[in-house]
Amino acid sequence: MGQSKGSSLFLASSLMLTLNLISFERHVANVIWGCDQAGHVEVECVDESGDPVEVAEVFLFQFDGDRYQLFGPFISNMEGKIECEQELFSDDKGHYDRWIYARIKGESLGIARAVRFRNSEQVINPKHEVTLRPSRSVKGTVQVPPEFDPTKVRVHIQVLHVKSGDGMFDFDSLPRHERFPGLDTGLSEIFDCTPDAEGVFTFDDLPVNGRVYLVTHATGLGQSQWKNEGWHLEPDPELRIEKEVPVTGRVLTPDGTPASGITVGARLQAGQPMNPCHLSSFTGKTDSQGKFSISEVPHQKFTISIDAPDRKIVFHPQPDLIGDSSTGVKIELQTETPIRVAGRVVDQDNKPVKGAAISAIANPDIGFDSDQTNEAGEFNLLVPSGKVQLYFNGLPAGFEYPDPQIVKEFEVKKGQADIESVEIVLERSSEK
């Protein structure tokens, strides 16, 4: 029997956070860059009764294999439709990933995603329909230390949910963080604002029934966060901002020399003292001496990791670091030569399984690497020393997630030989 969908999604969502500690949105190797095919994209705007919405302002984000490109604004016609003359695909087989934001300023807004996934061929919202629901303005405040100017703060909508039904998961969502390049910075005139001299800021066209995650950015200050707990945007947001915790150090290669051009990331962990609503990442890059500096980190535990462009060195992410604004965190990161874990994924008839997304982790909070199986069912993962577990975080249509979810486990020693010829058998789904 395969595992339940709920348990699979739970661990998958945890790993979506952790795997980016290493990859910082490094796309799997077999992604084909954006393909502009002849055609157009049609979006249909409707109200909660399903009737067309005229004169809606519509924006369309299309993934090109690297980032989400913004098109618009378009204005919906009497039939509630707009047409974007440029149609982007993520490969030459017609797969796509698109996000839609629509609004009638001061009245309503809608969010939708239309996607055809590569590994499962599942299609979500093929009609590119977006439902507009009532909106409202929200006024909030920021508080900064006495020597700082609130007008130098940027308040950023990190995630926006619009309630679409009575169920727990009945909402449409727009993510605007680093894991969605292009979405994170797009439409800043709508999703970002600057407080006045009194620290007061206002967002227009937020959902009457929804949830918003706010974060702040300012030089010399640590990130502050806020979200409403229920589905109504009450009480008004209040963000208290403190001085940043400077994170500095250097990265060394396995032979002890400075490692330049390495991206170093600090990702917030859940829990006290801040209880962040979003596990944000903050990054810096090493110079010729291997030194790095990371800014805007708040007083909260975080995990530090690296991303080496040539993937010739790896580092076991280090969790539970925390500092204060006066002392900061100073750390030296000693990297090592990666060990390759390679193998193939097959079905019960020993036929290769293409498009299975497999990840190497230490635990649900620390990820190492990820890959997607090719035509021959093969995968390659690069890992540091220590405990390594393999887990599927995406399967093609017709296959069941394994139970237990961890399919292989190794104790990797520094400098050992690569681990090859790993074979994993997946069961086909019994559902018709």
In angstroms, rounded to a whole number, what is the distance separating the alpha carbons of residues 114 and 119?
Answer: 16
CB 23 within 8 A of CB 423: no
Write the CA distances from 408 to 77, 271, 390, 404, integer angstroms: 55, 30, 5, 10
Question: Do 148 and 90 fall into the same domain?
Answer: no
pLDDT at residue 122 in the model: 80
pLDDT at residue 27 in the model: 33
4-42 residue pLDDT tens = 333 333 344 444 444 433 333 333 322 333 444 457 999
Boundary residue ending a domain (176, 205, 240): 240
pLDDT at residue 16 in the model: 42
256-266 residue pLDDT tens = 999 999 999 99
pTM score: 0.86
Question: Do 150 and 72 fall into the same domain?
Answer: no
Residue 346 structural domain: 339-425
pLDDT bracket for residue 93 (50, 70, 90) = confident
Does 183 reside within a domain?
yes
pLDDT bracket for residue 117 (50, 70, 90) = confident
Q: How many domains does the chain have?
A: 4
pLDDT at residue 284 in the model: 97
Question: Do 276 and 366 fall into the same domain?
Answer: no
**DSSP-derived secondary structure for 47-89:** -TTS-B-TT-EEEEEEE-SSSEEEEEEEE--TTSEEEES-EEE
pLDDT at residue 65 in the model: 87
Question: Do 85 and 106 fall into the same domain?
Answer: yes
Question: Do 62 and 41 fall into the same domain?
Answer: yes
136-164 residue pLDDT tens = 999 999 999 999 999 999 999 999 999 99
Least confident span in 24-38, 238-252, 277-291, 295-309:
24-38
Question: Do 358 and 417 fall into the same domain?
Answer: yes
Q: What element of type H or E holds 426? A: none
Question: Do 311 and 356 fall into the same domain?
Answer: no
Does 5 reside within a domain?
no
The mean pLDDT of the chain is 90
Name which residue leads in pLDDT, 229 or 192.
Answer: 192
Boundary residue ending a domain (83, 110, 131): 131
379-389 residue pLDDT tens = 999 999 999 99
pLDDT at residue 38 in the model: 52
Question: Do 127 and 139 fall into the same domain?
Answer: no
390-400 residue pLDDT tens = 999 989 888 99
pLDDT at residue 28 in the model: 30
Boundary residue ending a domain (318, 334, 350): 334
Does 224 reside within a domain?
yes
Domain with 208 in it: what CATH number? 2.60.40.1120
The arithmetic mean of pLDDT across residues 41-66, rounded, is 96
- Residue written as tokens 């020693």? 413
- Residue written as tokens 């709920």? 6
Name which residue leads in pLDDT, 89 or 360.
Answer: 360
Specify the amino acid at residue 405.
Q
Name which residue leads in pLDDT, 196 or 14.
Answer: 196
Question: Do 104 and 49 fall into the same domain?
Answer: yes
